[in-house]
Structure 1
Amino acid sequence: MFAKKDEEKMRTARWSVLFVGWIGICLYPTIAWAETIRFATIDYCPFTCDPSKEAGKEGFMTDVVREAFEQAGYTLVIDMLPYARAVDSVQTGKYDGIIVVGRDYAPNLVYPDEPTVVQRVAFLVNSGTSWKYTGVESLSGVIVGIVKGFHYVDPDLITYLEKEQRNEDRVHVIHGESTTRRGLLMLQANRVSTFLEGEYSAVYQLDKMGIREAVTIAGFTTEAFEDYTGFSPRNPDAARHAEILSDKITDLKKSGRLDGILRRYGIL
């Protein structure tokens, strides 16, 4: 008799556990069915950073992405790659998203409603240089340093760089990782006359390298560059991921919290 009662108690306990588990799934689906999103990124501080080199900082765009998706119950995996390979890996579906990308460079990705930030492209030169950028015509006799795969926003400038990119007397193309730092070192070594870089990453890297006074800005592009997080068109959940990030970016901008994130990186 006691064995039968014990068996009934155990059966009741099992059903209780199953019922509680079912209730948990209904009330907290993102926890019960946590998904992993794989992001490709680049070493492009302060947007996306290698935390082992930046005292634990991952970059302000990585911070925004983490806040958006971890609060929604997702697990993030982030791998650092060269820019062109990172974009290709997202386009082909190897990764679910890329944390920072120019929309014009990869128009087939799925994007949130607005960019995380907007910045101009700066023409950096060594201090004391008299040359100023006043348009494409002012590039005559100047060696320009650029990064492979980056979008330089002004149509006439893009046309010039594409035309001359195989002529190292006019354009030097930097490949691989740590491109901002390497471009500034090339500038200081006079291997290029001017290095083109987004103003946020330029200011951050100049401060980090301690050469803020040694380099100055000789002009800007006319148009601004929009920095997006993009998602793979091969992933059926891409639109949902973009919507989650859109809502977070809108919230951060309205509340002023995005400015607080940017200040942590010294760019506001």
Structure 2
Amino acid sequence: MRKFRNGWAALLLMAASGAPAWGETLIITGDVWCPINCAAKASKPGIFVELAQQIFGEEGIRVEYQTVNWARAILDVRQGRANALIGAGRDDAPDFLFSATAPAISRMCFYTQPGTDWRYDGLASLATISLAVINGYSYGEELNGYIHAYEHDNTRVQTAAGDQALGINVEKVLRGRANATLENTWVMARYLSRRAPPAVLRRAGCRTPDVPIYLAFAPKLASSQRYMALFEAGVQRYRENGRLRVLLASYGLRDGEL
């Protein structure tokens, strides 16, 4: 009986102090965007996944990582079926909760076949090409407007969806079915190097400005404010003590590298 009472006392103390309850799980989700987030069962699941696992693990919170297509990931977090969206920019889901500190910055560049001379130089330069993009992605206000305006014109914009959207777009460019695609530089470099057989695409200019990316928390869940505060404190702490730099290095990247 004494042990039983002590157990209840411990639970009450945890509840009063805001400490995590036993068995607390936080679900994070996104499409595979490696090295930011990789295959769920990979030995290296991705920078943001490991960062979340480490920060929340210190608070006794288990992180469950799920991969779905991007549009589904946004919907799952928006409706509260998952706690946070991985690698989101503020334009991806403006209603989500974003911490003050972004763990990383995303540089999005245009890629074409080697040997071509087209280069991105503002929206007017897109008029002569067919651009392959991914359904549900935000590419910034200006490019989003262009994509929306021509989403039903395959000679200007082609949209891929599903778990293999990046691979589909790369194949379109390699086979000449699209002139260019737009992707994060980390993600594209990793994909091309690991493709079988490896492929080479030409970088043909980049979107500006570069965009901060976050772990974005569900707007409808009461727990989101607490999780966001814990993650913000963890990111700041890891920047100060060098753990974020070590994590990036484990993926072959340097802090501040794009």
TM-score (norm 2): 0.89
Count, aligned residues: 251
Q: Which residue of 1 aligns with 2:201?
A: 215
Whole-Å Cα distance in 2 between the matches of residues 134 and 149 of structure 1? Answer: 24
Whole-Å Cα distance in 2 between the matches of residues 181 and 99 of structure 1? Answer: 20
Q: Which residue of 2 aligns with 1:178?
A: 164
Q: Which residue of 2 aligns with 1:92?
A: 79
Question: 2:130·2:179 contact (CA, 8 Å) conserved in 1?
Answer: yes
**Is 1:57 matched with 2:44?**
yes
User: After the TM superposition, which parts of structure 1 deviate over 6 Å for at least 4 consecutive aligned residues?
Assistant: 210-213
Q: Which residue of 1 aligns with 2:30?
A: 41
Local SS of the residue matching 1:223: coil
From the CA coordinates, give the structure whose radius of gyration is larger: 1
Which deviates the most, 223-232 or 24-33?
24-33
Deviation at 1:189, TM superposition (A): 1.2
Return closer, same or farther for 1:186/1:29 CA change in 2, 3 Å cut-off: same
Deviations 1:181-210 (A, max 9, x none): 222122111111111001111111122226
Deviations 1:28-58 (A, max 9, x none): 9847534122222221111111144x4x211
Give structure 2 stretches of 5+ with no counterpart.
none
Question: 1:186·1:192 contact (CA, 8 Å) conserved in 2?
Answer: yes
Return closer, same or farther for 1:210/1:218 CA change in 2, 3 Å cut-off: farther
Q: Which residue of 1 aligns with 2:222?
A: 236
Alignment-mate amino acid for residue 83 of structure 1: W
Q: Which residue of 1 aligns with 2:174?
A: 188
Deviation at 1:240, TM superposition (A): 0.4
TM-score (norm 1): 0.86
Tell me how large the CA RMSD over aligned residues is.
2.2
Which deviates the most, 179-188 or 18-27?
18-27
Give structure 1 stretches of 5+ with no counterpart.
1-13
Whole-Å Cα distance in 2 between the matches of residues 210 and 217 of structure 1? Answer: 20
Return closer, same or farther for 1:73/1:135 CA change in 2, 3 Å cut-off: same
Local SS of the residue matching 1:21: helix
Same amino acid, percent of matched pairs? 23
Alignment-mate amino acid for residue 156 of structure 2: R
